[in-house]
Amino acid sequence: MRVRGNLSPNALDIEAFAPMPGYVEVRLRENVKSVTMVDEMTEAEVTMYEYDEYTFHLADKEGLREEIEANLTDWLITGRTLEINEGASIVQDMKEALEIVGVSV
């Protein structure tokens, strides 16, 4: 999913997933780019970061971080494959392309 934040993200974050003891939330990020925006309240320019983020809930195990890092490309492909919502990067890219040619979505 395309995400925007005010900090440059790590490529991989793993945190305990509180609703399910023994599980972790894995967040993978790629295609990080800085975007300059104007804050509506202050009218000041602000640098934000836009990136693709994929989230997995997995059983925690020793060596999980190393396993993911060693196979990061495969994990990213899996994340892209499972992404099926309106905020999906591919959907946003298609909408942007349509707007460029004058099609309103």
**Adjacency order of strands within the sheet including 23-38:** 2-5, 45-59, 23-38, 12-16
Which sequence spans correspond to the domains of the chain? Answer: 2-100
pLDDT for the residue numbered 89: 72
Q: Judging by beta carbons within 10 Å of its beta carbon (0-12, 13-18, 19+), is residue 54 exposed, middle or buried?
A: buried
Q: Which range, 21-25, 40-44, 88-92, is most confident?
A: 21-25
**Model confidence, pTM:** 0.72
Q: Give the closest residue to 86 by CA, choosing from 78, 95, 77.
A: 95
